[in-house]
Structure 1
Amino acid sequence: MIELDSESTVEINPVGEEQTKVIVVDGFVSNVDALKNSACEVSGYTPDGKTSYPGVRAILPDEYVDLVVQFSVPLLRREFSIPENVTFNVTMAYFSLLTVAEKNLSIPQRLPHFDTTKKHYYAVLHYLNDGDFGGTGFFRHIPTGFEKVDNARKDLYKQSVLSFMAIRGVPDPAYIGESSAQFKCYSKVKYKSNRLVIYPGNLLHCGLLSESQDVCADPRKGRLTASIFIDFDAE
């Protein structure tokens, strides 16, 4: 049985010029090894078919998803002023393993991205395995200055990205690292086993990854994370 650790710590970190809150929880569960064992026992790791995640995914256990929701939803309501009468849905819940070699990255996989333009859609990312893996970076789009992309910014942002690549060329087939000519990494969360990171899905973000450290299809050894996406019906 997977349980919350009563000694976990919660930090609320406003990041960037827009001071968007990113929540970091250390020591999230008391028995992270049980969750890692579950990841090794599950079958059917495949691309999710919905996102540009550069790897494979498998369904998370229901009891763990329920635990994350019970912890995260009250915290999100408080920190992002979401009323109690606003409903929510868990849109995706996966174990995730980075498996795509740099030479095989699509163009979107070489760039920071946003998950949605919705205001109250949140990514909950739980780092699981021990290891020197890449964390998560938050990026500012240099030509527009955007740190997050909502419906009002979406068209301008996409047009600007395409125009930049038309003039400067597409990025080389590589993980972005910390910054590029088009994007500046202004904040990052280091990978640490049993650390939970929660952030709005409209923030421009990307894993701070390298092929040599992070690409591995073995859930016992790779950059194993649990990824849950929570969508509040509030727009």
Structure 2
Amino acid sequence: MTPSLLRVGHSRSPVVIVDDASGDVDRIVASAAALAPFPVAGGHYPGVRRVLGTGDGAAYDYAAALLDRVAPFIGGAFDVDGFDWIEASFSIVTAAPAALTPVQRAPHFDAIDEGYIAVLHYLTDQPAGTAFYRQRATGIERVDAGNCAAFVAAARDQGAAPAGYITASNAAFEQIGRVEARRDRVVIYQGCLLHSGIIPDDLPLSADPRQGRLTANLFVQAQR
């Protein structure tokens, strides 16, 4: 594994990039395919998602092993002593750009707690990475308990986001950093950062884990 560190925005928030994270992507994809078809995701995720549990054998074991491998990078970058495993899933983007809801067309945050950390594992070669944003009206890059209301109010005032997936700066949001997708690359970041998947217009939107934009999405809660 080869880690590197990207710092985004005025806050210089750390984003950890780990290449060659597993060395065995074919086996991971096969374990995901064995669980297909995935159910439609709840919330605002634009696709299908399979949450992993202890009964999922090889897929669950992979998620546990991945967290063990990246634990030193989480501790070093975010200055934490340990973490609790919150959730892990396989996810595939399947929603057509024209079918997105207004919320799905804008950057989002996972939690307002800076200790809530996302571990995202790219499992295909498709050019569909992850970008980070600043809300122009407020300057917000990281959403917390103190600024969440202002962020939501500004989002409502700006009206509907442009059609399709956000892939670059627009009138409401400035892109402040991006990570290109690469097979077996892991990106680790705080869930309070405004972010969005980079979903090109021509991206295949298959729900098949062997064909679509398959990622593993893990979330942990830092201990300090």
Q: Same fold (TM over 0.5)?
A: yes
2:151 aligns with 157
2:140 aligns with 146
Report Cα offsets for 1:166-201 as digits up to 9, x if no partner: xxxx12331112111100111100011010000000
How many pairs align?
218
Letter in 1 for 2:48: V
Shift, 1:44, TM fit? 4.2
2:56 aligns with none
2:87 aligns with 92
For structure 2, the residue ranges without an aligned partner over 5 or more in a row are 53-58
Identity of aligned residues (%): 34
For structure 1, the residue ranges without an aligned partner over 5 or more in a row are 1-7
Contact 1:135/1:207, CA 8 A, preserved across alignment: yes
Report Cα offsets for 1:4-32 as digits up to 9, x if no partner: xxxx2000222211100000001111211
2:122 to 118, 127, 150: 127
Output the CA distance in 1 between the equivalents of 2:168 and 2:128: 10
Output the CA distance in 2 between the equivalents of 1:19 and 1:142: 17
Output the CA distance in 2 between the equivalents of 1:48 and 1:16: 30
User: What are the residue-to-residue correspondences of 1:44-59 with 2, within 5 Å?
Assistant: 44-49=37-42, 51-59=43-51
2:9 to 16, 19, 28: 16
Contact 1:106/1:173, CA 8 A, preserved across alignment: no
Shift, 1:214, TM fit? 4.3
Output the CA distance in 1 between the equivalents of 2:180 and 2:62: 23
Q: What is the DSSP-based 3-state SS (H/G/I as helix, E as strand, rest coil) of the residue aligned with 1:227? A: strand
Letter in 2 for 1:156: A
Report Cα offsets for 1:69-127 as digits up to 9, x if no partner: 2123332222212235xxx3322211111111122211110000000000101110000
Q: What is the root-mean-square deviation in Å for CA atoms of aligned residues? A: 1.5
1:36 to 29, 41, 44: 29
**Structure 1 segments (4+ residues) deviating >3 Å:** none
Output the CA distance in 1 between the equivalents of 2:41 and 2:164: 21
1:67 aligns with 65
Contact 2:38/2:49, CA 8 A, preserved across alignment: yes
